[in-house]
Amino acid sequence: MWADTFATQFDAQRAERIGALCRLDLPVVAPDLDDPALADRLAGVEVLVTSWGAPALTAERLDRMPKLRAVFHGAGTIRGLVTQDFWERGIVITSAAEANAIPVAEFAYAQIVLAGKRAQYLARVPRQFRNGWRGQLHSDRYTNYGRRIGIVGFSRIGRRVVAKLQQLDPAEVLVYDPYADPDAVARAGARLVGLDDVLRSVDVLSLHAPLLPETIGMIGARELALLRDGATVVNTARGALVDTDALTHECASGRLDAILDVTEPEPLPEDSPLYDLPNVSITPHISGSLGTETLRLTDAALDELERWLNGDALTSQVTMADLGVAA
């Protein structure tokens, strides 16, 4: 992992814990597995604990680690880490994606609630109308009462958002996910319907689908046109799920609002109209774990490492088949 990632994710307590679980040699952290100076060290490595900044585990790199048996990833997706050669060697890998889902779901829920009051945009009003801003509030759009919210992707994050949305009373939650179990969605307090049914009826659309070949651009011009006037698109998943040009067109017309923690591309070009539209809120991909939240990811990885060492069942192992339907 990157050195600054290690400094954030391994405080004294967690550095002591991993030292108690494994035999550590120097250097403890390496951002570059191709460094010739690491050759002797890598030859004896049995376990990697990885996070942001870890390079792809290609055949060439794996050849330098013939004893490698397991990888415990202290971050979310492992897509950039694993390769076909990795899977063919039968190495165990786990991910802290479930732990990373916690702050993303918290952030998404907060943005959905704020979207009900259009708070992200109305925050600018007192600056523009310092003596008469209350006159801007005469609209039935500013409410969370009786909202209908659409969730695309009953993923580990989507499920958490659905659970949090039960706090809104009354509110109806619709879910689109071709792989979800209708009974599981119902038990969570939502209703599983088709994508077009979600789009035609919701006030807020929140995206939580993984980025797969079939999900790229899944919310395009046709889908956005189905949303009712005044609806808000919240994206904390991946920017490429949405057609950026189509979203720009809808937001520039004033018909839709957007709350974007991710974009495509990321960052947007400097001349993107989305930056200056008053009904668009853009944050710099902050919904995932930041600061002390990353310690939760470290704990998740070390918990799995400890289970593996003890011969206990792992709780977050990822297989090649899992990557067909998950981030």
User: How far apart, in whole angstroms, are the C-alpha atoms of residue 228 and residue 147?
Assistant: 13
Q: Answer yes or no: do 74 and 89 share one domain.
A: yes
The reported pLDDT for the residue numbered 136 is: 65
User: How far apart, in whole angstroms, are the C-alpha atoms of residue 172 and residue 179?
Assistant: 21
pTM of the model: 0.94
- Scanning the chain, the segments in alpha helix (DSSP H) are 3-9, 12-21, 39-43, 59-63, 84-88, 97-116, 119-122, 125-128, 156-165, 182-187, 195-201, 221-226, 244-252, 293-310
Tallying the residues shown for the chain, one arrives at 327
**Token pair of 269, please?**
């070009």
Q: Which residues does the chain have with pLDDT short of 50?
A: none
Half-sphere exposure of 96 (CA within 13 A, CB side): 29
Q: What is the DSSP string of 79-103?
A: TTT--HHHHHTT-EEEE-HHHHHHH
Q: What CATH number should be reported for the domain holding residue 89?
A: 3.40.50.720
The reported pLDDT for the residue numbered 124 is: 80
Q: Answer yes or no: do 201 and 315 share one domain.
A: no
Q: Answer yes or no: do 145 and 267 share one domain.
A: yes
**Token pair of 233, please?**
């698109």
**pLDDT tens-digit readout, 78-102:** 999 999 999 999 999 999 999 999 9
Q: Answer yes or no: do 115 and 255 share one domain.
A: yes
Single-letter residue type at 233: V
Q: Answer yes or no: do 114 and 187 share one domain.
A: yes
The reported pLDDT for the residue numbered 135 is: 65
Q: Answer yes or no: do 107 and 92 share one domain.
A: no
Nearest CA-CA partner of 232 in 78, 101, 118: 118
Q: Answer yes or no: do 276 and 295 share one domain.
A: no
CB 295 within 8 A of CB 9: yes
Number of domains comprising the chain: 2
Domain range for 199 is 101-282
Kind and range of the H or E element at 50? strand 47-50
The DSSP bridge partners found for residue 71 are 48, 93
Q: Answer yes or no: do 259 and 219 share one domain.
A: yes
Q: Residues with catalytic annotation?
A: 238, 266, 285
Nearest CA-CA partner of 56 in 84, 37, 76, 75: 84
The reported pLDDT for the residue numbered 121 is: 87
Q: Answer yes or no: do 64 and 149 share one domain.
A: no
Neighbours of 324 (CB within 10 A): 10
Q: Answer yes or no: do 185 and 304 share one domain.
A: no
Q: Answer yes or no: do 124 and 169 share one domain.
A: yes
Q: Answer yes or no: do 236 and 257 share one domain.
A: yes
